[in-house]
Amino acid sequence: MTDISSAGTFTLGDRAVNRMGYGAMQLAGPGVFGPPKDHDAALAVLREAVASGVNHIDTSDFYGPHVTNELIREALHPYADELVIVTKVGARRGTDKSWIHALARPELTEAVHDNLRNLGVDTLDVVNLRIGGVTKPSEGSIEAPLTVLAELRQQGLIRQLGLSNVTPQQLAEATRIADVVCIQNMYNVAQRDDDRFIDDLSSRGIAYVPFFPLGGFTPLQSAALDAAAASLNATSMQVALAWLLQRAPNILLIPGTSSVTHLRENLAAATLQLPPDTIVGLDLIAGSGKRALNQDDSIQEKEGAQPVQS
């Protein structure tokens, strides 16, 4: 198995985790809704990830809904002491597979208890408050929903708090309410709006966890990415993940897949070192090919679309 420890560790709250983790979203059915196509294969992916050294799993009870958490519990419970399971609240699923904001006090409280029950734990390791739309933050105060989670943390139901899809201004507001251990925003070699944000978080010891590190609703495509992969005898997706690992020490990866084969390919990126000239070429992608690489806006608006290796 790949030694993912070569990518290093970062402290997530009060616990060190390997920087190469796993995102469970794709274990649910199409559109992140309903059961997986292959139940046993989903369990196998989770067990393979942990056996390979992954000790940071990202999930949510609104994936499915309930599906990914129930799979995690079936595959891995009782959990190893070193395993950190990060979940998120702030949304719910409609019967039409839509994603609906769920930020009222009763909704957040119910979501935390749903996560506790379906994961089979008494305390959630980290809970991210999801704000904004599908891929981008939205402006506005987050004081009210975060205050609810801070109270639940004081009750012992949550160890650490994080934020998803937020702006630097919203983080500043959040830190006046509670400590924040991680930010989860969209970011990859082509989508780099958070460059300055990441550097600021790194200086403050806050983890940055990019979602859709491999593109999201459509996979990353770039001649520069393909050329770099060919020169390194790697896949384009491995290069994209390796670029993130070398981008900043506080970046934690959670690439998702429902395939053991793809899982192994993703984890192998932990050992891939990109030469300086390769990084220079990849850094140009976001500027020179931004329109070609950006996810189609019409696809992004379809919240039920199935992400690709996100």
Catalytic site residues?
63
Report the DSSP beta bridge partners of residue 101: 91
The DSSP annotation for 16-73 comes to: EEESB-EE-GGGSSGGGBSS-S-HHHHHHHHHHHHHTT--EEE--TTTBTTHHHHHHH
Residue 215 corresponds to which tokens in the numbers above? 């593109």
> Which pair of tokens denotes residue 295?
């996810």
Task: Determine the Cα angle at 209 with ends 200 and 156, to 5°.
Answer: 100
| Residue of 237, 203, 200 whose CA lies nearest to 220 | 237
Tell how far CA 162 is from the center of its chain.
12
CB-based contacts of 53, cutoff 8 Å, min separation 6:
1, 3, 4, 5, 18, 20
- Residue 96 DSSP symbol: T
The answer, yes or no, to whether the previous bond of 137 is cis (omega within 30 of 0) is no
Q: Tell me, rounded to whole angstroms, the distance of Cα 32 from its chain centroid.
A: 14
Distance CA 108, CA 13 (A): 21
Helix axes 236-247, 223-232, angle to 10 degrees: 90
| Burial class of 141 by CB neighbour count within 10 A (0 to 12, 13 to 18, 19+) | exposed
